[in-house]
Amino acid sequence: MPAYMQQTYRRGAHVWDTSRRRVGEVTGHEGTGLQLRLVGGALQWQADPDALRLAFPDEVHRALKQQRTGAPADDRRRRGCPECRRLRDQFADAIRSGDRAGAERVMAARGLHDFAAHWGPK
Ligand SMILES: [Zn+2]
């Protein structure tokens, strides 16, 4: 891992893992990967530094709160979200009909909606 990454993702730093969609704390470096632990939790995993960015303070706050209450507040909100449901159905339809390009478009739309509606700055 390049030196600037070791500086950015130093031990104790809070990072957002874009591939697993959760906040972790850097506990160590291993080869080209990073060792993370769930913020406020025990779960540990290996992460690819290319899938990471530093976490925003409110993301860390939310993760800690989730751990305390044991309830993923954002997942709960997503379940009741009509746009999430619509995009999920659209994605399933595209997959069923073998429309790969369409599925990728829906996936991108889902990511944007998810960020804007459920994660973005309020
Ligand atoms: Zn939604």
- pTM of the prediction? 0.56
Q: Residue 120 — pLDDT band, cuts 50, 70, 90?
A: low
Predicted local distance difference test score (pLDDT) of residue 71: 57
pLDDT digits (tens, 9 = 90+) for 61-92: 888 887 777 655 555 567 778 999 999 999 99
CA 50 to ligand 1 center in whole angstroms: 26
Flag whether pLDDT at 12 surpasses 70. Answer: yes
Sign of CA dihedral 58, 59, 64, 70: positive
Beta strand residue intervals within 50-120, DSSP E:
52-54
Q: What percent of the chain has pLDDT over 70?
A: 89
Mean pLDDT of the chain: 87
Predicted local distance difference test score (pLDDT) of residue 36: 95
Sign of CA dihedral 85, 55, 36, 108: positive
pLDDT digits (tens, 9 = 90+) for 23-37: 999 999 988 899 999
Contact 62, 40 (CB under 8 A): no
Distance of CA 11 to the CA centre of its chain: 20
CA 82 to ligand 1 center in whole angstroms: 7
CA 25 to ligand 1 center in whole angstroms: 27
